Chain A
Amino acid sequence: MDNADIVLQLQGISKSFPGVKALDNVSLTVKKGTVHALMGENGAGKSTLMKCAFGLYHPDEGSIFVGGQQVQLRDARDAMDKGVAMIHQELHPIRTRNIMENIWVGRVPYKKVGPIHWVDEKKMQADTQALFDELEIQLDPRRSMGELAAAHCQLVEIARAVSYGAKVIIMDEPTSSLTESEVELLFRIIRRLTSQGVAIIYISHKMDEILQISNEVTIMRDGQLVGCWPAAELTQDLIVARMVGRKMESRFPPRTPNIGAPYLEVEHLTSANPHSFQDISFTLHKGEILGLGGLVGAQRTELMESIFGLRPIASGTVKIGGKPAKITCAQDAIQQGMALLTEERRASGIIPMLSVLENTVIANQTAHTRQYTGGKLFLSEKKRQQDTQQYIDSLSIKTPTTKTPIQNLSGGNQQKVLLGRWLLTGPEILILDEPTRGIDVGAKYEIYTLMAQMAAEGKCVIMISSEMPELMGMSDRIMVMCEGHLSGILDGANATDERIMMLASTWQKAPEGGAVQ
């Protein structure tokens, strides 16, 4: 191998945390101008490895070479100075400042007059513009960061990485919150970067994307290296088999839908927020899985959170089992047999410092306190423990003990704890908002199986999803929203990518400013 072509090399990296060996002698070689995909189930060690490469963690053993030189990365800034950049899955821009200040933060161009460093706004804007022109990003450098959609925030972050002269850019689940057209835009930028010799390390769970964009694929399992292959030699089935170490039969569990009587009836529901959804009517039947598709900004989350009582409603009715239901807070909803797994696991899901146990029982304990106290004052520790253990077993949650703080678990396991939290409330209507986002294939399949099982038991399931295959693979019917309006409901059997996309953009009046087209 020609050494000049290797921009980043990790050799024999090992890293342990108290109680866990997260990385065991893992090596990775990334060549100039290529996209190198890094795959593995949650907890396989991908993120830990990348945090070592980006200086956030210091490996216990092994060495790191950047551009042929062995380096010790002190921290993220050091890594960036040496040419390694990372785009995190969850971005934290400074929303109150504008785009160019976000890009140059920490190294703002200045003019020195006497003892004072004056910010050189002109140069900053020109530099940013030049950077954007080079990457074909169509954004005004002076726009406030807070106005930007997730996809645009990501572009800004990429531009920032380029401005540091990054030779390697690590992207952790870059498409997890992007719509399909935004993914196209991202891919265009990635191709442009690789043509300029930049290498991309691409972490994702989405097979089609990986096969489409990457040159090489490294697969990890349980903190160890499985191997590295040229993407051309791989297929989805091969990748899955190597990731899980077993053969995955199918991506979706088989099911025979048994649709029953109407159960949830929503009529002319309009949000109290004039910019949100309007006049939404739909019916959900027992035993049905209803997919809810649409682009970012279609107000799908807002609709579901309003039905669940978290957001105020201006008009319209919700009937459950034929009876009008008055739901003004989450507790009403839970007592009516509803459960809502929210989209933002960190913001509105987990209670990070509390234990797996507390996180599991909290909703049921609040809504059905009697189950835990038997009408007395004190909680039954035994019952709490039993309920938690039941879901640790049935959802195969990987956790050392029930007392472990949930923040120590991997993302997929956190998500399963949250699912357990809701299943424990014995829901008749289970609403899942992007339930498989950022989750590995194994856990995904388990969540699909669970949905199928719930439906088979005659429960109703609503799944908001931005992933087409998932929408089409799991739903009996697909409801599509666009800019707060219900644009159509498709039968699951004859839904296609094109028809869903059509409906998702039906209400679109004018294309948004910026680069998304």
Chain B
Amino acid sequence: MTTKKKFDPKQFIINNAIYLILVALVIIITVISPRFFSLDVARDILMQSAVRIVVAMGCMFIIVSGSADLSGGRMVGLTALVSASLAQQAAASLKFWPGLPELPAFVPVLVAMLVGVVLGGFNGWVVAKLKVPAFLATLGSQMIIFGFSSLYFNMEPNRSQPLGSLTQSFRDIGSASLFGVPYIVMIALVVMLIVWVLQTKTCLGKEIFAVGGNLEAARVSGINVFKIQMITYSLAGALYGLAGSMEAARTASATSAYGNAYELDAIASCIVGGCSIAGGVGTVGGVFAGVVIFNVISYGLTFIGISPYWQNVVKGLIIIGAVALDVRKYSAKK
């Protein structure tokens, strides 16, 4: 047997397809419209990506652990409502909780994250304890959560009016910047850093990979699979909660329709970013690129004046292409 270490361009392309596609897209759009290549555009795209990044990071935990989650989008919606309802100005004309004093901005965010943890924990319990297949368990909880969202939204005296009049400090989370870097982008970057550290530097991260890679082998190796599944779903819930409050802050509003279908975008970003739907594979960098690529498409195509209706066509093609490439990556040995 001989081992040769040689640069294989084909292998390089297959292994880094996502980054290459991203670079290629930027180049193509820049050639058509040179103004695209600027810091302002980059900041806009990152601001639009920030919420999606946080949702996708949560989703990645679950995909890496070999599970699935369809309830993420509705969780973003409910937590956006919860945080907005707690972040209204004291003198708001139509106040969700009349008499509630003005709260510091971190309170609604923390409450939203807590709600996410509880709902995520419920998902985890249904999957790990009741052994309901994750796809169906979270399809069910998706409906339950949307139901609760609508009920909450329709409570007296709000009666399904879009929530507004949010405090300045809360809105700043979504729109203010420090040294030109928007807070919302900083939050997304910090989340990515934390998730990266958790995944690659801690025992918990390794155990999540092991459970996703081979659940039985993980169990035999002494991993408490129930605990790991509860933790991954709760962690994802916390991130959805954070994303919900970011979304409310960014738009300075909230309705029960918020977050609709975000989970599908998140799953698509994870898959395009190199996660294996079978579990056990996934990186923060890849998923980040997955999210950004979709936002570059929507922003870039609008920028060069292509009908927004084409965006979905391009996105769909990229998803199919990414998975087709991925399949080849693992069967490349044949």
- Chain A positions near chain B (C-beta within 8 angstroms): 17-22, 43, 56-57, 222-223, 308, 310, 329-331, 333-334, 340, 342, 347-354, 358, 362-363, 365-367, 369, 372-373, 377-379, 398, 400, 408, 421
Contact = CB atoms under 8 A, between A and B. Distances in A.
B281 A329 contact: no
Given A20-B3, A348-B214, A366-B203, A57 B222 contact: no
Nearest to B330: A353
B153 interface: no
Q: Which of B203, B220, B334 has the most CB of A within 10 A?
A: B220
B230 to A, nearest CB: 15
Interface stretch (B156-164, B165-173, B205-213, B306-314): B205-213
Given A20-B1, A223-B1, A334-B222, A348 B216 contact: yes
Contacts of B217: 347-351
B206 A379 contact: yes
B2 A20 contact: yes
A502 B1 CA distance: 46
B281 A353 contact: yes
A398 B280 CA distance: 24
Given A353-B276, A365-B203, A330 B219 contact: yes
A366 B223 contact: yes
Given A20-B2, A330-B222, A379 B214 contact: no
B211 to A, nearest CB: 9
B11 A18 contact: yes
B59 to A, nearest CB: 19
A329 B332 CA distance: 38
A350 B215 CA distance: 10
A222 B1 contact: yes
Given A18-B8, A334-B222, A362-B218, A352 B213 contact: yes
Secondary structure class of chain B's binding surface, majority of residues? loop
A347 B11 CA distance: 29
Interface in B181-213: 197, 201-203, 206-207, 209-210, 213
B222 A358 contact: no
A351 B1 contact: no
Interface string B9-46: 00100000000000000000000000000000000000
B333 A17 contact: yes
B210 A358 contact: yes
B138 to A, nearest CB: 24
B131 interface: no
30 contacts: A20-B2, A21-B2, A43-B1, A56-B334, A222-B1, A223-B1, A310-B220, A330-B221, A331-B222, A331-B223, A334-B222, A342-B220, A348-B219, A348-B220, A351-B209, A351-B218, A353-B276, A354-B213, A358-B209, A362-B206, A362-B207, A362-B221, A362-B223, A365-B203, A366-B207, A377-B202, A378-B201, A379-B202, A379-B203, A379-B206
B222 A333 contact: yes
